[in-house]
Structure 1
């Protein structure tokens, strides 16, 4: 696609700061930091294209939401290939089925942000998959960071379902 090539060549839509260390590339490569961030045990699915993991930031009524990231670094939707987009959405759909069957949620929402005005705050493309419940007020509440020991319960539920059903 010519537009994607032009944007990538000119870096027109890049907002990452100079010397940016990508936290999602670190997760994909298996490197953990000694902080509250994502740990390897939070990963629910990984193949050669994508990695899906329990997010370290949660919303009060939507605990255990998942981020799906491409293993290759793409800053945003403008750089993303259509082939990679398909892989990301395959993993998101699998995650949605796992959530429905293990969290017993009423629905699922996906969300994706690009550039500062679009609320992107990590400069690596990522797709959020949220478990949804009646009157959960997802869009009216603020997220907060979790402790690493809060996430494995949710990761194990989703990982087990995926291993048994995919």
Structure 2
């Protein structure tokens, strides 16, 4: 399935430009044009799915495996000291392109990127309530 108005579907079809770095039967990986660090890439399923809620479980698994391949290449080929994987699902979570994708962001000591929140202890009652809702 493809969505003609989706830029990532056009990349899969070869009608929009991209610097492809990995491909298999289910996934395509290409360089992010707005990189957070050197080597920042995106992994997408070839089949269109709007977001994490909609992606086929097998495509999701294939994207995770492809992201791991890229993480290893970032470590071995670029000298990355670590990697962040990021998925944004829906606008409230910063999603701007509505085709499921995983950011593979190589990390380097002193690269200047920071987490979007500052971890701090949570309220145990709120944590327990959320855990109950998730069960």
TM-score bucket of the superposed structures, by smaller chain: 0.7 to 0.9
TM superposition score normalised by structure 2: 0.78
TM superposition score normalised by structure 1: 0.64
Q: Deviations over 1:25-67 (max 9, x none)?
A: 00011112xxxxx42xx101112200001111112xx122010
Structure 1 SS opposite 2:52: coil
Deviation, structure 1 residue 68: 0.1
Alignment of 1:1-166 (within 5 A): 21-32=5-16, 38-39=17-18, 42-59=19-36, 62-139=37-114
**Structure 1 alignment gaps of length 5 or more:** 1-18, 33-37, 142-166
CA separation in 1, counterparts of 2:23 and 2:82? 24
Root mean square deviation of aligned Cα: 1.8
Question: With CA pairs under 8 Å and 6+ residues apart, which has the higher RCO, 1 or 2?
Answer: 1
Q: Deviations over 1:85-106 (max 9, x none)?
A: 1100110000001110111011
| More helix per residue | 1
Q: Is the 8 A contact 2:28 2:43 kept in 1?
A: yes
Where has structure 1 moved over 4 Å in runs of 4 or more?
A: none
